[in-house]
C-alpha cells in the first residue's frame, strides 16, 4: 500500500505494519526501534505459537474472541496468518457461533473502534464522511442495520460484529486485502428495549427508522459509495426479510452488490443438495424439497434451486412445483391469506396441512430448516423422513448453534444413521453404531469470499444469478469421495482458500461470458486471481 512507513512507537502501534518481536536487528535500527522491544527476535511462526497458546488457555469462547480482536488491532498480519493456518479451530470464534454472543455483548466488550457508522443524523453528509476513512481503494463493503442478526433478532448497533467478522473471512478465506475492506453499521435505531435501557449501549437510543426515510438513507449511502469507492462491492447482511428483499431488488441490476443471507446461503445450500445426490443416488431433477421457515434465507435458497431446476429443462412453473414451504402456521398454500410476495411462487394449490402432515403428503427428499427456532426438527419428523427416504437429506441451517433446528447427534440417532446432515454452525463428529460421521457445515464462508474475490477481480458491473449457480456447482465439485464416505457434503474448512480461488475463477469466467466484466480478460484467469490474493506472511 502507498503510505509512509511509520517509525518507533508509532510503528509498534500500527496494526498494518507492526511485526513486534519479529523485527530483525537491522529493521530495529532502520525504524528507530532499538530499546523498544525485548532482545529476542521471534519469527512469525513462533509468534503464532505464542498467540495460539494464549487463545487455548482461555476458559470461554467469548474471551478468545476478545483476544483475537485485540490481536487484529495490534498485529494484523499475525492475526491473519493465525486465522488462515487454523481456520477450522478459529472460524467458530471469529464468526458463528461465537460472533452471536459477541454481538449480544458488543457494547460491553468494546475495546477499539473498527468500521464505519452511519446514523439518520448524517443524512446529507455521507459522501463527505466517507472521506474520513483512511483507505481510498476500498473494494469490499459489508453493511448491516442490525435488525436480524443471525437468529438473535434486533441487536441494533451491536450488529457491527457481523460486518467485522465477515470481512475477516474475506481476507483469510479469499485473500482480499484487509485494507480494501470496509465494515459499515447503518445505525437507524433499535426496537430492542433491553438495549435501549443499557447505559453502555453504543447506538442511537431511538426506535428504528422506517419507511421512505429509511430507504432514502440507504440510497444516499449507496450513491456515496459509487462516487467514493467506484470499484467496491456492497454486501448486504442480516437485514430483516422485507428490507432484505427490497434493497436487493432495488440495487441488484444497477450496483455491484448482493445479499449474503439470500444469495450466499442459497449457493451453499444448493451445493449441499448437489453433493447429497452423490450419496443418495437420486437425480437432482427428481428431488422434492421442503423448507421449514419462509424468510429471506429459505426463499433465497428456493429461488436459486428453482433456477438450477430450470437449467435441467423445467419451466419456471414446473421447477417451483418441486419446492414447498411450511412455517408455524403449516404448509404455505395458495388459499392462505397475507402471503408475502417472495413466497407467492411457492404457494401451490394444495390442502392446508400442519408441518408433519405436509411431509407425509409431499414426501420430500430434502428438508431444509431456516427458522431460527431450535428443536423444530423433532424426533418424529426425522424418523418420518427416514421412513420416506432411504437417505433423507436434512439441513438444519439456523445460526448460531443454539438456534439449529436439530443437532447432528439427534439426526444420526433418530434416522438410524441414514440421514445426510448439514448445519449452518459447526457440530463435532458423531460416532453412531461404530461409524463416525463428519457433519457438513453449510456455512456461507464457503461461498461469499470467492464470489466477492471473483467479482472484484474482473471488476464486474453486477453479480448475476448465474454467478451464484456457478459458485454452487464449483463448491459441490470440490467435495471428495473421502468427504462423502464420512457423510460430509462440504469439503474441509481447511481448504477454504483453494475453494474460494476456484469459486472466484468460476464467477469471473461467468462474468466474462455474460459481458459483465470490465477488466480485460487475462490469458490465465486462475493464475491472475491467485496472484492478487493477500499473503500475511512476514
Residues assigned a catalytic role: 95, 166
Q: Decide if 20 contacts 37 (C-beta within 8 A).
A: yes
The residue with cell 407425509 is 360
CA distance 210 to 189: 10
Nearest to 177 by CA among 48, 2, 5: 2
Torsion of CA 185, 186, 192, 198, to 10 degrees: 50
Half-sphere exposure of 421 (CA within 13 A, CB side): 31
The secondary structure of residue 21, as a DSSP letter, is G
Residues contacting 429, CB < 8 A, separation 6+:
436, 437, 438, 439
The residue with cell 480478460 is 521
Q: Which residues pair with 186 in a beta bridge?
A: 118
Angle at 482 between CA 478 and CA 484, to 5 degrees: 75
Q: What are phi and psi for residue 185, nearest 5 degrees?
A: -110, 115
Angle at 224 between CA 223 and CA 225, to 5 degrees: 90
CA distance 264 to 300: 8
End-to-end CA, the chain: 15
Residues contacting 59, CB < 8 A, separation 6+:
none
Q: Decide if 269 contacts 176 (C-beta within 8 A).
A: no
**Distance, C-alpha 202 to centroid of its chain:** 24
Angle at 127 between CA 125 and CA 133, to 5 degrees: 110
CA distance 177 to 181: 7
> Inter-axis angle of helices 448-457 and 496-513, to 10 degrees?
50
Give Rg (Cα) of the chain: 23
Cell triple for 401: 448453534
Query: Cis omega (within 30 of 0) on the bond before 271?
Result: no
HEC per residue, 460-499: ECCCCHHHHHHHHHHHHHCCCHHHHHCCCCCCCHHHHHHH
CA distance 279 to 273: 10
Nearest to 320 by CA among 297, 340, 343, 341: 343
Q: What are phi and psi for residue 440, nearest 5 degrees?
A: -75, 135
- Exposure pattern of 445-463 as b/e (b: 16+ CB <10 Å)? bbbbbbbbbbbbbbbbbbb
User: Strand pairing of 435-437 and 366-369?
Assistant: unpaired
Q: Decide if 467 contacts 510 (C-beta within 8 A).
A: yes
Amino acid at each position: 500500500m502507498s503510505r509512509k512507513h511509520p517509525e518507533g512507537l508509532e510503528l509498534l502501534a500500527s496494526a498494518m505494519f507492526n511485526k513486534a518481536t519479529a523485527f530483525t536487528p537491522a529493521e530495529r535500527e532502520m525504524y528507530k526501534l532499538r530499546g523498544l522491544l525485548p532482545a529476542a527476535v521471534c519469527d512469525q511462526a513462533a509468534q503464532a505459537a505464542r498467540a495460539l497458546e494464549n487463545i487455548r488457555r482461555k476458559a470461554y469462547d467469548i474471551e478468545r474472541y476478545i483476544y483475537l480482536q485485540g490481536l487484529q488491532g495490534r498485529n494484523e498480519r499475525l492475526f491473519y496468518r493465525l486465522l488462515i493456518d487454523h481456520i477450522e479451530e478459529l472460524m467458530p470464534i471469529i464468526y458463528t457461533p461465537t460472533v452471536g454472543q459477541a454481538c449480544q455483548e458488543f457494547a460491553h466488550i468494546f475495546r477499539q473502534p473498527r468500521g464505519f457508522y452511519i446514523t439518520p443524523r448524517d443524512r446529507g453528509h455521507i459522501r463527505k464522511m466517507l472521506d474520513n476513512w483512511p483507505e481510498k481503494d476500498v473494494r469490499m463493503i459489508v453493511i448491516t442495520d442490525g435488525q436480524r442478526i443471525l437468529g438473535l433478532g434486533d441487536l441494533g448497533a451491536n450488529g457491527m460484529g457481523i460486518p467485522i467478522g465477515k470481512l475477516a473471512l474475506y481476507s483469510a478465506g479469499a485473500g482480499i486485502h484487509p485494507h480494501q475492506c470496509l465494515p459499515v453499521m447503518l445505525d437507524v435505531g433499535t426496537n430492542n428495549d433491553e438495549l435501549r435501557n443499557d447505559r453502555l449501549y453504543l447506538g442511537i437510543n431511538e426506535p428504528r427508522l422506517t419507511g421512505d426515510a429509511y430507504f432514502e438513507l440507504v440510497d444516499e449511502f449507496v450513491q456515496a459509495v459509487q462516487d467514493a469507492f467506484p470499484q467496491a462491492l456492497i454486501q448486504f447482511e442480516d437485514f430483516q426479510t422485507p428490507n432484505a428483499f427490497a434493497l436487493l431488488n432495488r440495487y441488484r441490476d444497477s450496483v455491484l452488490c448482493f445479499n449474503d443471507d439470500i444469495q450466499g446461503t442459497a449457493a451453499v445450500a444448493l451445493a449441499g443438495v448437489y453433493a447429497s445426490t452423490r450419496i443418495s443416488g437420486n437425480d437432482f431433477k427428481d428431488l422434492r424439497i421442503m423448507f421449514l421457515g419462509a424468510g429471506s434465507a429459505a426463499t433465497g435458497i428456493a429461488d436459486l434451486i428453482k433456477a438450477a431446476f430450470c437449467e435441467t429443462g423445467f419451466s419456471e412453473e414446473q421447477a417451483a412445483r418441486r419446492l414447498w414451504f411450511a412455517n408455524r402456521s403449516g404448509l404455505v398454500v395458495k388459499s392462505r391469506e397475507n402471503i408475502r410476495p417472495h413466497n407467492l411462487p411457492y404457494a401451490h394449490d394444495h390442502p392446508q396441512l400442519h408441518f408433519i402432515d405436509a411431509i407425509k403428503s409431499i414426501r420430500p427428499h430434502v428438508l431444509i430448516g431456516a427458522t431460527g427456532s431450535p428443536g423444530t426438527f423433532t424426533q418424529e419428523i426425522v424418523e418420518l423422513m427416514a421412513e420416506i427416504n432411504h437417505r433423507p437429506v436434512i439441513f438444519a441451517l439456523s445460526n448460531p448453534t443454539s438456534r439449529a433446528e436439530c443437532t447432528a447427534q439427534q439426526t444420526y440417532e433418530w434416522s438410524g444413521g441414514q440421514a445426510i446432515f448439514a448445519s449452518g454452525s459447526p457440530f463435532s463428529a458423531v460416532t453412531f453404531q461404530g461409524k463416525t460421521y463428519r457433519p457438513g457445515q453449510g456455512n456461507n464462508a464457503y461461498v461469499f469470499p470467492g464470489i466477492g474475490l471473483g467479482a472484484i477481480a474482473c471488476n464486474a458491473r453486477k453479480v448475476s444469478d448465474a454467478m451464484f449457480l456457478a459458485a454452487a456447482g464449483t463448491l459441490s465439485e470440490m467435495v471428495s469421495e473421502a468427504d462423502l464416505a464420512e457423510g460430509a457434503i462440504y469439503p474441509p474448512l481447511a481448504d477454504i482458500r483453494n475453494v474460494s480461488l476456484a469459486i472466484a475463477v468460476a464467477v469471473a469466467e461467468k462474468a466474462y461470458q455474460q459481458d459483465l466484466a470490465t477488466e480485460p480478460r487475462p490469458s490465465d484467469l486462475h493464475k491472475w486471481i491467485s496472484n492478487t490474493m493477500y499473503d500475511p506472511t512476514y
